[in-house]
Structure 1
Amino acid sequence: MSWTCCQSCCPGSQEQLLPIYRKHSVSLKPAELLWSTERDKPVKLRMSESGPGSEAPSTIHQMFQRTVDGHGDEPALRWKEDGKWITMTYKEYLLQCRSAAKSFLKLGLERYHGVGILGFNSPQWFIADIGCIMAGGLATGVYTTNTPEACQFVAHNCEANVLVVENHKQLVKILQVKDQLPHLKAIVQYKDELEQKLPNVYSWTEFMMLGEDVPEEELDALIKNQSPNECCTLIYTSGTTGNPKGVMLSHDNITWIANAVGTTTHLKMREEQLVSYLPLSHVAAQMNDIWISMRFAATTSFAQPDALKGSLVETLREVRPTSFLGVPRVWEKMQERMKELGSKSTALRRQVADRAKALGLQASYNEMNGTNVVPWGFSLANKLVFTKVRFALGLDRCKACYTGAAPITKDTLEYFMSLHIPLFEVYGMSESTGPHTMSCQDGFRITSCGKEVTGCKTKLDKPDADGNGEICFYGRHVLMGYLNMPEKTKEALDDEGWLHSGDLGKHDKDGFLFITGRIKEIIITAGGENIPPVPIEDSVKEEVAIISNAMLVGDKKKFLSMLLTLKCVMNDAGEPTDELTPLVVEFCRQHGVGATKVSEIVGNKEPAIYKAIQEGMERVNAKAPSNAQKVQKWSILPKDFSVPGGELGG
């Protein structure tokens, strides 16, 4: 494949591309650089002269309007009220977004100012997000687990004129800090009735009626003035290592990658069904649930707020999605639940299931390797086991199951392969508007995050003798910059416009990308040996199924040590509790231990469990390429890592 790097390598190349823009009747605002940290400053697009990357730039509204023009009567959004599914068509969806846009204008939303949205996935979340963009604002998702202080930082940083919250619980957070938000003009609560009437606080019904007298022409003029190379959305990083960074994404970032992902995965107009449940403050959920869905006239159905506490499978069974994206913990929970149910089956049923899974794993590996040889007995296993499992999970018509946002263990990948449900890894960042590489049915390798989305480019910077280098991205999905952070932007984007991920990776002979660690995570021992921690940490989690997180330490030390956490139940806020997951409880039972809490194991240093972990550690050490890469000491921490706790990034 040949590439033409029009922007980064050729000075003045924006002018060379003007004929392309004119051909597509696209109006771009003049720009001097590939990057910007100012909310109202457009950027050059990384367009190719031909082939992937040369597609016509488009605004959010233009993409939405094309879908409505061609498929306006198709179902766009579905949600449950009083146990019944309600459907909104694409025509109705667009009208609702326009009404929201006019109401934002009535409330005084200024051009390039933020609208913060804080709450669980719902039609109102989508409508507020798109309505804000139509009205010329910057749509900004806010983590539902944020403290009032963290909400204040994001709202102040994006100069939010309006904050949209889900319920009274989230409203209280904002009321605590509203006096520290000089740009804030109004708050809108989209779920439940307001518990009390407060100045400039509106229910969703009140909000949607506010803009009725705003002329359609006024909104149309604002929409027409928007350009694909301008900022329309902010995605905030978690801020684990400092204040959150506001990732500035342009219209073109979003519309281009939405189309590119659909092209790569062969999505079909009007045929796709999705379930929205992952937090929309993350770029992965926004791209999957809002933008890719909109581009391909898919139907997005909303899960219940307690989805991750158990109701998700019920929603999947009702919707039967055609594709499904889960973070590793979602797949791990499914795995744990199925293993728990399997352990209660009769010996004969377990024997049949084990034989079927062995055939399923072999068949999946054959497909992965391109041989397509079906093992003897697979058809019967598929009929007796796999078809029933897929139906029970609501994945019976799912063409692709994806995993992303964090590393997933080989054990979990192979478990689902054994059920003939391959999980395709997706790799990207907020800074790349979500996906950069993907595995798919056309080609995947276990533990690899696949190949580039059509039109994206990768280079490995400063590779070592084994081919490991920093993964760098290039393409029209690369961010504009970090809002008001020029130094951080210069750290992320080099002079040629490549985005430096900070991740280490290498390609295999077939071009599949494998993540091997992070640059800043490299441990240099006292003996001077460079050790990437991720492979060792992953090996420990694969060998000891009850380990949730493993953290290798030992920089400038004589030997390596490891901090471990046990799998535990998370509460509604995503915080770890003291209660062990059913899988760990069963593991304990099999080792003659009756513990049901983390504290019972850690407090008593339960000998049988500690022995089992040590045996797993010894198996990991036996595979170490050198003594320096062996774990000499380890300890179990009293609670698991989490985003709210600050140990993990969001």
Structure 2
Amino acid sequence: MANKQNSVSELFLHRITSTPDNVGIIGRRNNQWYELTWKQIGERVKKIACGLRSLGLEKGARCSILSGTRPEWVIVDMAILTATGATTTIYPSNTPPECSYIINDSGSVFCFAENDTQLKKLIEERPNMPGLKKVIVIDGTGSADGWVISLNDLETKGIQWDKDNPGLYEKDAKAVGPDDLATLIYTSGTTGNPKGVMLTHSNWVYEGEALGEMGIMSPQDKQYLFLPLAHSFAKVMELAFIALGVPTVIDGDVDTLVDNLMTTKPTVMGAVPRIFEKVYNKVVTGAREGGGVKFAIFQWSLGVGRQVSALRQKGQEPTGLLLMKNNIAHKLVFSKLQAKFGGQIKYFISGGAPLSREIAEFFHAAGILVLEGYGLTETSAASYVNRPNQFRFGTVGLPVPGTEVRIAADGEILLKGKGVMRGYYNLPAATAEALEPDGWFHTGDIGEVDKDGFLRITDRKKDIIVTAGGKNIAPQNIENTLKTRSTYISQVVIHGDKRNFCVALVTINEETTGKWAKDHGISYSGYADLASKPQVKDLIWKTFEEVNKELASYETIKKIHLLDHDLTIETGELTPTMKVKRRVVEKRYQSVLDAFYGETLAKL
């Protein structure tokens, strides 16, 4: 696939000059929505880029962004790249020492901090970051010693630098090459320090144009971007909207997501499976609580929707009586669910973690298509994706144009193509381990390709459980099934590696389980108290008993323990994209897990 532009800088300059008056970004300030045209975006990017040049930014020098998802994140990112620098991403949830590690390891000379909360982390770690020359605060004021300056002050410096160096900004931005470093994204390792993944301008240009070639988005769409821009999934959605000129709402506030979707009415949105799981649980629980006629109508509508979904999965459309029934189901049930997303959604793109097939089929039955994709930070996020007119639930779709796949003898997925990273920053041994000399990248995922080219992911290679009896178990599929079957379950972590049988750590959905407890006359004082009730454990265990019947004997879960809190990003047990940090959870509750097997040994 031929790239029209060589770099993200060139891609961005092309966008602002070819469609200057089109809306590029929709943002929210003080609860008021505003629009920015590409011309306005370009002007602000130039001021910030020139401001960085005035501070002495050299080609290839790293600048970190420590901020939540907001329009300024994208504007600053484009400014760093057009100023010939490279962006290092830091999650706003990172602790001060984690921020310090990334800034030092990447060699970042400047860091953009979102506000006083993020700035405080940097001030705390300042003695440990001797190479960090200056901090630019987006919402805030500078410091007396000049180490912190405001974004407005940087823009003022940029205006002067541009006057003193006319035409130099555009000249240098156009000179950025395809193999130049664009982004350093640190993968959140479950053990040891995170590794900096080096992604080039060529990687991102390839991804942006590939999404256009596949028809995933067009300028007629409106994208909603709420995912953390420090993550590669959000980064690829950022590049797509710049490459294709798609107006994009940028707002990372998850608490107001549903209200914002109803207001902004997007047509496309990327999301992680946890979002779909929460919506599914809320809808199913609400219908069940409606009882009687309401629940009967919901079940009837869902049955009709599943018949229509089955047809559409074969590329056919409903006719006659089924079409009439589906129109009624849409009016009575599905239109209300679609309205929660703004009523204009053509499809969602799911990534970052495996999506349960049952969840995908539920949404499709309700007239909402969820296209699951797959990729890693090391492959610039998008390597496989289901297409709007070519999808198969339970798979991650077909390869992105230009990406090759190979399944190793042990089932590991190997990928090759223009999206594959340059390597891990300053880690030649780790790079050599993951990346073969001829360009094949070892993903660490186990999967299979069907006869039509659709890829199905089984599990992470390192997460595969090998029991004491030598049996292999893929825990993710079982965990997803359990979460889908019960609206009372929030998270499940199955454990059993080198053990005689499998057990599980479980967290409950406080809202649904709390309602069930009250309906059954069970009083409780909080999450921990609710989780400790034997009746609640019995309720959760029923789902395990149901699912156990469908599993091979060696896969069945013999015992469960309900944790006294749900897993969150704040507790360090979920990644920023809401994936469970399996090793962290297992280590934290080692004594609980050991006790399961200790009891068995005592009985023997």
Q: TM-score, normalised by structure 1?
A: 0.83
Compared with structure 1, are the counterparts of its residues 126 and 238 closer, same or farther at alpha carbon in structure 2 (3 Å cutoff)? same
Structure-to-structure mapping, 1:131-170, within 5 angstroms: 131-170=79-118
Q: Which residue of 2 aligns with 1:448?
A: 395
Q: Which residue of 2 aligns with 1:547?
A: 489
User: How many angstroms apart in 1 are the aligned matches of 2:500 and 2:30?
Assistant: 62
User: How many angstroms apart in 2 are the aligned matches of 1:623 and 1:81?
Assistant: 51
Q: Which residue of 1 aligns with 2:46?
A: 98
Q: Which residue of 2 aligns with 1:557?
A: 499
Q: Which residue of 1 aligns with 2:222?
A: 273
User: How many angstroms apart in 2 are the aligned matches of 1:343 and 1:196?
Assistant: 56
Query: For 1:516, which of 449, 454, 458 is the aligned residue?
Result: 458
Q: Is the Cα–Cα contact under 8 Å of residues 361 and 420 in structure 1 kept in the other structure?
A: no
Q: Which residue of 1 aligns with 2:23?
A: 75
User: How many angstroms apart in 1 are the aligned matches of 2:115 and 2:40?
Assistant: 24
Q: Is the Cα–Cα contact under 8 Å of residues 66 and 113 in structure 2 kept in the other structure?
A: yes
Compared with structure 1, are the counterparts of its residues 445 and 595 closer, same or farther at alpha carbon in structure 2 (3 Å cutoff)? farther
Compared with structure 1, are the counterparts of its residues 406 and 595 closer, same or farther at alpha carbon in structure 2 (3 Å cutoff)? farther
Secondary structure at 2:214 match in 1: helix
Compared with structure 1, are the counterparts of its residues 220 and 393 closer, same or farther at alpha carbon in structure 2 (3 Å cutoff)? closer
User: How many angstroms apart in 2 are the aligned matches of 1:189 and 1:226?
Assistant: 26
Q: Which residue of 1 aligns with 2:316?
A: 371
User: How many angstroms apart in 1 are the aligned matches of 2:499 and 2:258?
Assistant: 46
- Report the Cα offset of residue 608 of structure 1: 2.3
Alignment pair present for 1:349 and 2:294: yes
Compared with structure 1, are the counterparts of its residues 383 and 475 closer, same or farther at alpha carbon in structure 2 (3 Å cutoff)? same
- Report the Cα offset of residue 371 of structure 1: 3.5
Secondary structure at 1:308 match in 2: coil
Q: Which residue of 1 aligns with 2:513?
A: 584
Compared with structure 1, are the counterparts of its residues 227 and 292 closer, same or farther at alpha carbon in structure 2 (3 Å cutoff)? same
Q: Which residue of 1 aligns with 2:581?
A: none
Q: Deviations over 1:140-163 (max 9, x none)?
A: 121101111000001111111111
- Report the Cα offset of residue 74 of structure 1: 0.3
Structure-to-structure mapping, 1:185-334, within 5 angstroms: 185-191=133-139, 193-194=140-141, 197-214=144-161, 215-268=165-218, 270-288=219-237, 290-303=238-251, 307-309=253-255, 311-334=256-279
Amino acid in structure 2 at the alignment position of 1:637: L
Q: Is the Cα–Cα contact under 8 Å of residues 108 and 131 in structure 2 kept in the other structure?
A: yes
- Report the Cα offset of residue 85 of structure 1: 2.5
- Report the Cα offset of residue 583 of structure 1: 2.5
Alignment pair present for 1:600 and 2:548: no
- Report the Cα offset of residue 401 of structure 1: 1.1
- Report the Cα offset of residue 70 of structure 1: 2.2
Q: Which residue of 2 aligns with 1:183?
A: 131
Q: Over aligned residue pairs, what C-alpha RMSD do you find?
A: 2.1
- Report the Cα offset of residue 365 of structure 1: 2.2
Compared with structure 1, are the counterparts of its residues 538 and 85 closer, same or farther at alpha carbon in structure 2 (3 Å cutoff)? closer
Amino acid in structure 2 at the alignment position of 1:313: V
User: How many angstroms apart in 1 are the aligned matches of 2:464 and 2:282?
Assistant: 35
Query: For 1:409, which of 344, 349, 356 is the aligned residue?
Result: 356
Compared with structure 1, are the counterparts of its residues 648 and 494 closer, same or farther at alpha carbon in structure 2 (3 Å cutoff)? farther
User: How many angstroms apart in 1 are the aligned matches of 2:30 and 2:15?
Assistant: 30
The count of aligned residue pairs is 570
Q: Deviations over 1:472-497 (max 9, x none)?
A: 11110111111111111111111221
Q: Is the Cα–Cα contact under 8 Å of residues 162 and 185 in structure 1 kept in the other structure?
A: yes
Q: Is the Cα–Cα contact under 8 Å of residues 10 and 173 in structure 2 kept in the other structure?
A: no
Q: Which residue of 1 aligns with 2:585?
A: none
User: How many angstroms apart in 1 are the aligned matches of 2:216 and 2:358?
Assistant: 28
Compared with structure 1, are the counterparts of its residues 101 and 61 closer, same or farther at alpha carbon in structure 2 (3 Å cutoff)? same
Q: Is the Cα–Cα contact under 8 Å of residues 108 and 161 in structure 1 kept in the other structure?
A: no
Q: What are structure 1's unaligned runs of at least 5 residues?
A: 1-52, 464-468, 568-579
Q: Is the Cα–Cα contact under 8 Å of residues 345 and 368 in structure 2 kept in the other structure?
A: no
Q: TM-score, normalised by structure 2?
A: 0.90
Amino acid in structure 2 at the alignment position of 1:380: I
Structure-to-structure mapping, 1:563-582, within 5 angstroms: 563-567=505-509, 580=510, 582=511
Amino acid in structure 2 at the alignment position of 1:527: G
Compared with structure 1, are the counterparts of its residues 278 and 196 closer, same or farther at alpha carbon in structure 2 (3 Å cutoff)? same
User: How many angstroms apart in 2 are the aligned matches of 1:589 and 1:359?
Assistant: 33
User: How many angstroms apart in 1 are the aligned matches of 2:363 and 2:482?
Assistant: 20
Secondary structure at 1:367 match in 2: helix
Q: Is the Cα–Cα contact under 8 Å of residues 279 and 285 in structure 1 kept in the other structure?
A: yes
User: How many angstroms apart in 2 are the aligned matches of 1:93 and 1:239?
Assistant: 35
User: How many angstroms apart in 2 are the aligned matches of 1:211 and 1:486?
Assistant: 37
User: How many angstroms apart in 2 are the aligned matches of 1:416 and 1:584?
Assistant: 23
Q: Is the Cα–Cα contact under 8 Å of residues 437 and 452 in structure 1 kept in the other structure?
A: yes
Secondary structure at 1:471 match in 2: strand
Alignment pair present for 1:629 and 2:555: yes
Q: Is the Cα–Cα contact under 8 Å of residues 57 and 256 in structure 1 kept in the other structure?
A: no
Compared with structure 1, are the counterparts of its residues 333 and 536 closer, same or farther at alpha carbon in structure 2 (3 Å cutoff)? closer
- Report the Cα offset of residue 77 of structure 1: 1.2
Query: For 2:435, which of 470, 487, 493 is the aligned residue?
Result: 493
- Report the Cα offset of residue 326 of structure 1: 1.3
Q: Deviations over 1:12-63 (max 9, x none)?
A: xxxxxxxxxxxxxxxxxxxxxxxxxxxxxxxxxxxxxxxxx34456111211
Q: Is the Cα–Cα contact under 8 Å of residues 252 and 476 in structure 1 kept in the other structure?
A: yes
Q: Is the Cα–Cα contact under 8 Å of residues 428 and 434 in structure 1 kept in the other structure?
A: yes
State the percentage of identical aligned residues: 29
Q: Is the Cα–Cα contact under 8 Å of residues 347 and 370 in structure 2 kept in the other structure?
A: yes
